[in-house]
Amino acid sequence: MIRKMTIEHEGVRVVRVTFHLPASIHADKIYLVGDFNDWHYTSHPMLRSHDGGWVLALELQPARRYQFRYLCDGNSWMNDGDADGYEGNEFGTSNFVVDTH
């Protein structure tokens, strides 16, 4: 699930995007990787939520499209059926898109 909410943060309008994956995903670590963090594999670890799922909230600039993927245990990429869209990448697969318009 991806939830978006426009908020004011330090006098600037931003979009808080919360990424949530279900508790049924068995992993030791899941990272959110995307163009918002220059595709750094470990800078945005997801945390376990009270329901056992995986969650991470980011404050992103409005009126942009961000590409992202989930990296599970450092070796497998995961899909997100709740993404706003998909974009092909240079590896012959697709990145997911979250739109903050």
The CATH number of the domain holding residue 78 is: 2.60.40.10
pLDDT in tens, the chain (101 residues): 999 999 998 899 999 999 999 999 999 999 999 999 999 999 999 999 999 999 999 999 999 999 999 999 999 999 899 999 999 999 999 999 999 99
pLDDT given for residue 100 in this prediction: 96
What distance in Å separates the CA atoms of residue 22 and residue 37, rounded to the nearest whole number? 23
pTM confidence score: 0.93
Number of domains in the chain: 1
- Residue pLDDT, tens place only, 4-18: 999 998 899 999 999
Q: Does residue 36 sit in helix, strand or coil? A: helix
pLDDT given for residue 9 in this prediction: 81
What residues make up the domain containing 71? 2-99
- C-beta of residue 97 within 8 angstroms of C-beta of residue 67: yes
Query: φ and ψ at 63, to 5 degrees?
Result: 60, 40
How much is the mean pLDDT over the chain? 95
Query: φ and ψ at 37, to 5 degrees?
Result: -125, 25
State the amino acid at position 83 in one-letter form: A
Structure tokens at 53: 């799922």
